[in-house]
């Protein structure tokens, strides 16, 4: 089994890197770290970076998880190859570009680009955002899946993810005590469906709601509260059609609950996504 330790970063292609960078800093509230080699690095917490934009096809998207040792990375490579996944091992220059000691890359069964990294850099300085959005960190991603059951088996049998809950066929998967780090939503094509950042409080989320409306940023869902994770949420539109989410108050499944936690089944309709009555304007959230 591949022991995923932490969701590390997201890398996104964009048609307009200047506009995407400005959005990430001024609207989303991330800290611009550097612009180098055609890549823009931003962060949301103590890591070197958690989001990268590069000039390219917006469908060129990657998520990365870290493993704790080089031996764990080698083990992951062996497990994937034994299960007929095609593996790419990063060169020294590519590792330097990602600020990691080593990485491998592959596609999950739906075709989503995944990187497993070892030795990802942390910053020697505290996170200092461009605006006071209240962000406490990069928390989870929604991934599109052409077969939720098949992909759930991939993440829970070849990797160490566990199902916390289901919304219809969509599993919410955890790799640590946070209710979910990966959510799989049915779709006819691969890609990142949304990117979540945690904020400190409901006050931060509601301030964001007013700020986004004043800036003319389309709100796609919320404010609301997920009945699954208990988090208060707000989804909104980002560059190149990407959906971003702020949320706060996500459920933690502590180690002493792990053995007794039983995943729950929620309906794949508005009530399964929001207990307050908000209606999503997000294709993968609609029946």
The strand pair at 51-55 and 61-67 is best described as unpaired
Nearest to 238 by CA among 101, 42, 64: 42
Residue-by-residue DSSP string for 129-186: -SS---EEEEEEEEEEES-HHHHHHIIIIIB--EEEEEETTEEEEESSSBS-SEEEEE
Percentage of the chain with pLDDT > 90?
A: 97
**Weakest mean pLDDT among 6-20, 118-132, 140-154, 194-208:** 118-132
Judging by beta carbons within 10 Å of its beta carbon (0-12, 13-18, 19+), is residue 14 exposed, middle or buried?
buried
pLDDT digits (tens, 9 = 90+) for 60-75: 999 999 999 999 999 9
**What number does CATH give the domain 6-118?**
3.10.180.10
DSSP, collapsed to helix, strand or coil, labels residue 139 as strand
Fold match, 6-118 / 135-282: yes
Provide the 8-state DSSP code for 176. S
pLDDT digits (tens, 9 = 90+) for 85-106: 999 999 999 999 999 999 999 9
CATH number for the 135-282 domain, one of 3.10.310.10, 3.40.50.1220, 3.10.180.10, 3.40.50.880?
3.10.180.10
Structural domain boundaries in the chain:
6-118, 135-282
pTM, entire model: 0.97
- Tell me the mean pLDDT in the region 110-133: 94
């Amino acid at each position: 089994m591949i022991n995923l330790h932490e969701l590390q970063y997201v890398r996104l292609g964009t048609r307009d890197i200047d506009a995407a960078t400005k959005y990430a800093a001024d609207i989303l509230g991330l800290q611009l770290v550097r612009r180098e080699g055609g890549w823009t690095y931003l962060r949301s917490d103590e890591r070197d970076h958690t989001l990268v934009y590069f000039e390219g096809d917006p469908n060129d998207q990657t998520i990365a998880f870290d493993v704790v040792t080089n031996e764990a990375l080698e083990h992951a490579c062996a497990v994937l190859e034994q299960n007929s996944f095609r593996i790419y091992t990063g060169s020294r220059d590519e590792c330097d570009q990602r600020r990691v000691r080593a990485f491998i890359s592959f596609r999950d069964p739906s075709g989503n680009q995944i990187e497993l990294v070892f030795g990802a850099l942390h910053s020697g300085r505290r996170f200092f955002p461009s605006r006071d959005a209240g962000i406490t960190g990069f928390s989870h991603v929604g991934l599109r899946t052409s077969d939720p059951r098949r992909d759930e088996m991939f993440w829970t049998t070849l990797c160490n993810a566990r199902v916390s809950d289901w919304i219809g066929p969509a599993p919410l998967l955890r790799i640590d005590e946070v209710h979910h780090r990966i959510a799989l939503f049915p779709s006819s094509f691969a890609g990142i469906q949304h990117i979540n950042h945690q904020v400190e409080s409901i006050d931060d989320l509601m301030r964001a709601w007013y700020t986004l409306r004043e800036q003319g940023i389309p709100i796609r869902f919320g404010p609301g509260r997920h009945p699954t994770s208990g988090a208060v949420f707000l989804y909104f539109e980002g560059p190149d059609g990407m959906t971003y989410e702020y949320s706060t108050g996500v459920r933690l499944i502590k180690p002493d609950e792990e053995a007794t936690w039983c995943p729950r089944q929620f309906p794949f309709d508005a009530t399964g996504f929001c207990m307050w009555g908000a209606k999503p304007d997000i294709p993968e959230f609609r029946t």
